[in-house]
Amino acid sequence: MEKIIVTIGERFASSGKQILAELGEVEYLECSQSQLNEKIAGATILIVGVSHKIDAGVIGSVPNLKMIATVSTGTDHIDIEYARSKKIEVISLKDETEFLRSITSTAELALGLMIDLARNIYGAFDSVKRGEWNRTKFEGRSLSGKTLGIVGLGRLGALMAGYGKALNMEVIYTDPSVESRNFERVSFFDLLERSDAVSIHAHLCEATVNLFNSDAFMHMKSSSYLINTSRGKIVDENALILALESKDIAGYATDVIEDEYSGDVSPLVEYSKTHSNVIITPHIGGMTREARESTDVFMAKKIRDTLKAHEPASVS
């Protein structure tokens, strides 16, 4: 009998819970990173989101673990190589193309963040809460007629490109693996030089770590905005802060930061406390009711199917 521990807690979708209940004993918990090792020690299957880092130390503390399932496309929060060395299967939403076409929440957030930056919505609302009513203080920028650069024209990048087109923006993109009939493909630096807003939708890999560094910021328009709903490590945050301070770019809106798991004080978060040209949300791209319901149920079914595939063939 499986011992399934779900670190997403009781908010795991009820329809998904019904599927998991058929597979074994299930425990739903919410805990801090420091409590994780103690809480999950008895698991054979571990279901996680992106709020915990599942490194070698965590994996090594679970002696009977045979599967890690993450309800995300990214897996950089899991030490996959170590898991595989222990013959632990890791399953995720990556490459589940047909299913993922129905999940639009992260691209919708990217659109919202771009509009927030262009219109300074956060700053304007903050001003009203202070009892002010000063409309001239918050002159923004129209997006119609501007150029939107998409870094990574995969599922989410293509959605964001469509949103840009709906706003009458010129859309260009850079992605070595995608050819599009609908949008112009350009080099990375050409995109930076031409774009009024740049939206990051590339996967985190060795080639994209610190892709946005001091050199990249020097190629961007001083009036441009950068939006990141991918992974924090794609942006060199120290170089970003310098670029913001020196007005090399106009603003940055992100749903991710460089190290979400350490618990250390983030220099970017500290910077945002005293500057209005940064917006940070706590990795909520996939956190809509509809997205959570769909992904939880899909993952529960995938775990069930994976277990069934590993069952020994019956002998007649």
Do 117 and 190 meet the contact criterion of CB atoms below 8 Å apart? no
Side chain identity at residue 20, one-letter code: L
Distance CA 277, CA 241 (A): 10
Catalytic-role residue among 77, 194, 283, 292: 283
**Annotated catalytic residue, options 201, 231, 237, 292:** 231
Contacts of 11 (CB under 8 A, 6+ apart): 292
Residue 292 designated active-site? no
Identified catalytic residue from 52, 194, 201, 260: 260
CA distance 157 to 143: 18
Reply yes or no on whether 283 is catalytic. Answer: yes
The DSSP-derived string for 64-89 is T--EEEESSS--TTB-HHHHHHTT-E
Residue type, 98: E
Listed in sequence order, the residues at least 6 apart from 93 whose beta carbon sits closer than 8 Å to its beta carbon are 70, 71, 72, 73, 99, 100, 295, 298, 299
**Three-class secondary structure of residue 173 per DSSP:** strand
Q: Is 77 assigned a catalytic role?
A: no
Strands (E), 265-313: 278-280
Apex 250 CA angle, 244 and 256, nearest 5: 70
Just list the catalytic residues: 231, 260, 283
